[in-house]
C-alpha cells in the first residue's frame, strides 16, 4: 500500500483496552482497519467479539508490526505504562497517538521516551461512549501534530475521525489544557458534586434541572481515575477549581446581602 494514497487502512495497536479504547475500536474496525490491543487486564473475550486481536503480552503486541500505536490507558497510569513499553522491539518507525483527556502531560512524557524516528500525534476526542453513541458527526476532535514526518500515516489516522464528521480542531496541547480546565474539568467537578448531593429527578423538575440530572449521570459513567487525571495532570485545573469555589462564594454573599436588606426595613427594597 503506497504511503502517498490520501487515506489507507491502517494496522492500529491499542494500549489500554478500557471503555474508551473499546469504544474507538468499534468504529475503526467498521472502517476496515486492523486492530490489535493489549491492556493491564485480560480483555481477550470481549476483543474477539469486537473483531480485535488481543495480546496479553506487551512484547508480542510490540512485535505485531503496527502502523500506529494508540495510547488509550488512564491519565494516571501513563508514566507506568510508558515505562513498560519495549520500544526496541519496534520493527520500523511508528506513529504514536495518545487520546488522553489532558494533553501537555502525555506530550512531554512521550517526547522524552519515544524513539527519535517515531512520530507523535497528541489528540483528544471531545466525546465518549455516551455522547458518541449515535455517531461522531459534529463532535469535536482536537489534535496537535507534535512530531510528524510520515504524513500519509498521520493523515490516514486523522481521516478516521474526519470521515465520521468530527469537527477537526488543530491546536497546541497547552491551548487545549487551558480551555479544557474551564470546560471539561469544570463539568466533571459539578457533575461529581451533584452526585455527592444525591440529586435525583423530582415530579416537578424544570427543564434545566433535568439537564443537571443528566450531567450527573453522564459524569458518573466515567471513572474516578479519569476525573482525577483531569485535575492532577492539567496544570490549569487547580485554578479553575478555586475559581468555581470563589464564584459560589460570591453568589452566596450576594444572597446574604440581599437577605439582610430584606430583613432591615430601613433599607428600600425598590430596584
Ligand X SMILES: NC(=O)c1ccc[n+]([C@@H]2O[C@H](COP(=O)([O-])OP(=O)(O)OC[C@H]3O[C@@H](n4cnc5c(N)ncnc54)[C@H](OP(=O)(O)O)[C@@H]3O)[C@@H](O)[C@H]2O)c1
Among 174, 215, 220, 236, binds a copy of itself (CB under 8 A): 215
- Nearest approach, Cβ of 88 to a copy of itself (angstroms)? 26
Cα–Cα distance for residue pair 146/197, rounded to 1 Å: 41
In DSSP notation, 35-73 reads EEEE-SS--HHHHHHHT-EEES-HHHHHTT--SEEEE-S
Beta-carbon count within 10 A of 137 CB = 10
Which among a copy of itself, ligand X, none contacts residue 218 (Cβ within 5 to 8 A by kind)?
a copy of itself
- Nearest approach, Cβ of 22 to a copy of itself (angstroms)? 17
Told to check if 265 binds a copy of itself by CB under 8 A, we report no
Is 5 or 79 the residue whose CB approaches ligand X more closely?
Answer: 79
Which among a copy of itself, ligand X, none contacts residue 48 (Cβ within 5 to 8 A by kind)?
none
Cα–Cα distance for residue pair 45/135, rounded to 1 Å: 25
Unique residue bearing C-alpha cell 513499553: 85
Integer angstrom CA distances of residue 77 from 21, 102, 156, 198, 238 = 14, 13, 28, 29, 20
The string over 189-207, giving b where at least 16 C-beta atoms fall within 10 Å of a residue's C-beta and e elsewhere, is bebbebeeeeeeeeeeeee
Among 31, 220, 232, 236, binds a copy of itself (CB under 8 A): 232
How many residues bind to a copy of itself according to rule CB under 8 A? 66
3-state secondary structure of 235: coil
Is 152 or 233 the residue whose CB approaches ligand X more closely?
Answer: 233
Which among a copy of itself, ligand X, none contacts residue 205 (Cβ within 5 to 8 A by kind)?
a copy of itself
- Nearest approach, Cβ of 264 to a copy of itself (angstroms)? 13
Q: Are 129 and 157 in contact (CB under 8 A)?
A: no
Beta-carbon count within 10 A of 98 CB = 27
> Which three cell numbers, joined as nine digits, stand for 81?
505504562
* Element of type H or E holding 145: strand 140-147
Told to check if 16 binds ligand X by CB under 6 A, we report yes
Q: Are 82 and 51 in contact (CB under 8 A)?
A: no
Is 179 or 246 the residue whose CB approaches ligand X more closely?
Answer: 179
Which among a copy of itself, ligand X, none contacts residue 169 (Cβ within 5 to 8 A by kind)?
a copy of itself
Among 126, 146, 154, 166, binds a copy of itself (CB under 8 A): 126
Is 175 or 225 the residue whose CB approaches ligand X more closely?
Answer: 225
Among 41, 116, 208, 266, binds ligand X (CB under 6 A): 41
Residues that bind a copy of itself (CB under 8 A): 76-77, 80, 124, 126-127, 131, 139-140, 142, 169, 171, 176, 179-180, 182-184, 186-187, 189-194, 196-197, 199, 202-209, 211-212, 214-215, 218-219, 224-225, 227-228, 231-232, 241, 243-248, 250-252, 254-255, 258-259, 262, 269, 271
Amino acid at each position: 500500500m503506497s504511503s502517498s494514497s490520501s487515506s489507507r487502512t491502517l494496522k492500529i495497536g491499542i494500549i489500554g483496552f478500557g471503555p474508551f479504547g473499546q469504544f474507538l475500536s468499534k468504529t475503526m474496525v467498521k472502517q476496515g482497519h486492523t486492530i490489535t490491543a493489549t491492556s493491564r487486564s485480560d480483555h481477550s473475550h470481549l476483543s474477539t467479539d469486537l473483531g480485535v486481536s488481543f495480546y496479553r503480552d506487551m512484547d508480542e503486541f510490540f512485535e505485531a508490526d503496527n502502523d500506529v500505536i494508540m495510547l488509550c490507558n488512564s491519565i494516571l497510569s501513563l508514566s507506568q505504562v510508558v515505562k513498560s513499553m519495549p520500544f526496541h522491539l519496534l520493527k520500523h518507525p511508528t506513529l504514536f497517538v495518545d487520546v488522553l483527556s489532558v494533553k501537555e502531560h502525555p506530550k512531554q512524557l512521550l517526547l522524552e521516551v519515544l524513539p527519535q524516528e517515531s512520530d507523535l500525534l497528541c489528540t483528544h476526542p471531545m466525546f465518549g461512549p455516551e455522547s458518541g453513541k449515535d455517531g461522531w458527526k459534529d463532535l469535536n476532535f482536537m489534535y496537535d501534530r507534535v512530531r510528524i514526518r510520515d504524513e500519509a500515516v498521520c493523515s490516514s489516522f486523522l481521516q478516521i475521525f474526519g470521515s465520521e464528521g468530527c469537527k477537526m480542531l488543530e491546536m497546541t496541547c497547552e491551548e487545549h489544557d487551558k480551555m479544557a480546565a474551564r470546560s471539561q474539568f469544570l463539568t466533571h467537578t459539578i457533575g461529581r458534586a451533584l452526585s455527592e448531593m444525591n440529586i435525583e429527578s423530582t415530579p416537578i423538575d424544570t427543564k434545566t434541572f433535568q439537564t443537571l440530572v443528566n450531567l450527573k449521570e453522564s459524569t458518573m459513567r466515567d471513572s474516578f481515575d479519569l476525573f482525577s487525571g483531569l485535575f492532577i495532570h492539567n496544570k490549569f485545573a487547580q485554578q479553575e477549581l478555586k475559581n468555581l469555589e470563589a464564584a459560589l462564594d460570591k453568589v452566596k454573599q450576594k444572597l446574604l446581602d440581599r437577605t439582610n436588606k430584606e430583613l432591615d426595613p430601613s433599607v428600600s427594597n425598590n430596584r
